[in-house]
Structure 1
């Protein structure tokens, strides 16, 4: 097994996954015009991604424990390819919704196979999982620039979908030349947390991490879906600046990944990072929601990406896997199932809120972010309390 080549192929998938996470929301106006429907309808189509995740995560996570990781990564790549090509040409809303559901299945399959693969590669697999977020963020940084360029040149919006599909085809061939590690291997790192846990503390930590599985995904979905429209309509920012706020969020995310990766290598406690980063994200998001000064908004967008999307979700998942080391696929599926509830429910909730005001939609993110801080604080308290009980 060539770990570097396999890792590169897995990271490329997550670069495209970054495209897939925001490609519908970044093309909302073009799709609204193409389908001749209001923006709220496009938002409902986006919610299909959550249904796909909801249907697939737990099932695929469990199956990956039994049948291996490679087959489900292939399922994810094929599903994403179908989504990108189909969505570029579809005109029927019902069919578009089915493609959106398929994108959720694609994300579920990739996550179920990839996060567990990195853990099973060796003792540094957990920190390697953090780098997946960097490649997602690179994709989220590049795609708005591509779309902005297409818009300025008055070119077909579908080229952004076709580009993603083409990269997937090349990487599909590359990935299937690689050998995968044996599944469900245990190592010292996955056993450390359990040695210091009581049943009560483990249950509380599980509740906290499942709740965080929802809020961590919801916070990012809300921001990426509505920030561009919000600052244009509420503060009168230009179209290029509104896209730049999303790109700065992605730059902050990449910066956060690098710092978190280094801090984890230095042995900084995962629970401390979870609490501090969630507190910082709540503060930064408050500034984004209420500041009409471009420079301040840009700085806050960077800090929000740094703290909310810089790999903190992956820290939560790594910690969760350590609680249940013998069922890595099931735990990954469970964690992201709660995230899929967010992917399904948040676009519907914000679609309804946006009918009154786009500002209501983005500021609802503050409520979700505060709830996330509560869940990680509960997890940190449970894990710290368990050590005192020993």
Structure 2
């Protein structure tokens, strides 16, 4: 019937309840988008608050990656055994403690532990949310794409808030308080909603990768695991350092520097929608990975070697489009097609490599920043080149069979 959404597991959800559930879950990812960059966007203010240099603030950000690394596989397995709603609430509560805690705790060990908690919050939300979107509705592909869109909205919105607070000489901590308030309000959106019953049945469809040799399977698995690292690293590095780079190396004022992150986020939102359309039209993941990584590399070349303000604005948009518009999820989709019988394990491996990037990139860039911020962006250019080489390797290994 039209007013019911029904899954094969037998779960039925009224349309209004479904709408409340999806709104609540998407709002969490709006907050998550804020949480991904809120430390990076307030590095100088937090450094003054904690009495620490920028390099140490960057090290604190690496704690998010450790939290994700510690939690992904554990929480993913537990979420299949217990009510997924508990993991969504746990993620929300952990983020709430993180947002307020970094304003209250001033010692480096304490704020590092809070950053680890933020990484655990990320893992908890993913473990409780992604399976739910596979268990409700009739178009879970679109649902998963929209998760990325709401994350990008958060990444777009926060730099504007940070700029507004700085321009009007307001306390930088209001951006943290705002995120906490959204979480509190979202609890009341989700409380009356019943989550769907777990449906763990795995559908296995014939795909052209099944005929690949074991050696090719292993080679593709290694390359795509590495791509999980590279794709996450490029996104983290850009959002963490582009504003400071633009201010110090390109002489942008504060608003212009933060605007680059907002343009990057707009590009990522548009990229998600276009990528979804292209995949619906059966453009292969291999072709998309190759094209998008080339665009990312060209964009970083311009950022590194051009001081033309409008051109840098443009390529910040194209970099968001290509590097943060769902290309990481495209790599995961390809990985899942290559190993269709081990989806849980593959997802864990892929995001574990992404978590290693979340942990290691802030440390690496913190060291490079002691030399110069210019070296940080040069390092990112190298990462995009590696992404192109990985995509090329995937294409060469696969093209004879696919």
TM-score by length of 2: 0.90
Partner in structure 2 of residue 340 of structure 1? 355
Partner in structure 2 of residue 185 of structure 1? 201
Query: Any idea what SS the aligned residue of 2:334 has?
Result: helix
Partner in structure 2 of residue 163 of structure 1? 178
Partner in structure 2 of residue 230 of structure 1? 245
Is structure 2 residue 97 aligned with structure 1 residue 58? no
1:205 counterpart (220, 236, 244): 220
Query: Any idea what SS the aligned residue of 1:47 has?
Result: helix
Out of 173-182 and 298-307, give the one that drifted further: 173-182
Deviations 1:151-188 (A, max 9, x none): 11211111111111111122233234132253323336
Say if 1:211 and 1:127 are closer, same or farther in 2 by CA, change over 3 A. farther
Conserved 8 A contact 1:184-1:328: no
Partner in structure 2 of residue 313 of structure 1? 328
Say if 1:138 and 1:42 are closer, same or farther in 2 by CA, change over 3 A. same
Conserved 8 A contact 1:61-1:330: no
Q: Relative contact order: is structure 1 or structure 2 higher (C-alpha 8 Å, sep ≥ 6)?
A: 1
Q: How does 1:96-175 map to 2 (within 5 A)?
A: 96-121=111-136, 124-175=139-190
Structure 2: stretches of 5+ with no match in the other structure: 1-12
Deviations 1:55-80 (A, max 9, x none): 11122223333335333222211111
Say if 1:301 and 1:55 are closer, same or farther in 2 by CA, change over 3 A. same
Say if 1:68 and 1:334 are closer, same or farther in 2 by CA, change over 3 A. farther
2:268 counterpart (237, 253, 256): 253
Two-structure CA RMSD over aligned residues (Å):
2.0
Say if 1:201 and 1:121 are closer, same or farther in 2 by CA, change over 3 A. farther
Say if 1:66 and 1:374 are closer, same or farther in 2 by CA, change over 3 A. farther
Conserved 8 A contact 2:156-2:266: yes
Structure 1: stretches of 5+ with no match in the other structure: none
Q: 1:319 Cα deviation (Å)?
A: 2.6
1:82 counterpart (97, 108, 118): 97
Q: 1:93 Cα deviation (Å)?
A: 1.5
Higher helix share: 1
Q: Which has the larger radius of gyration?
A: 2
Q: 1:123 Cα deviation (Å)?
A: 6.3
Query: Any idea what SS the aligned residue of 1:67 has?
Result: coil
**Cα distance in structure 1, aligned partners of 2:102 and 2:212:** 47
Q: 1:325 Cα deviation (Å)?
A: 4.3
Aligned length: 386
1:240 counterpart (238, 255, 259): 255
**Cα distance in structure 2, aligned partners of 1:111 and 1:380:** 29
Say if 1:227 and 1:73 are closer, same or farther in 2 by CA, change over 3 A. same
Say if 1:12 and 1:186 are closer, same or farther in 2 by CA, change over 3 A. same
**Cα distance in structure 1, aligned partners of 2:282 and 2:190:** 32
Conserved 8 A contact 1:85-1:165: yes
Q: 1:372 Cα deviation (Å)?
A: 1.8
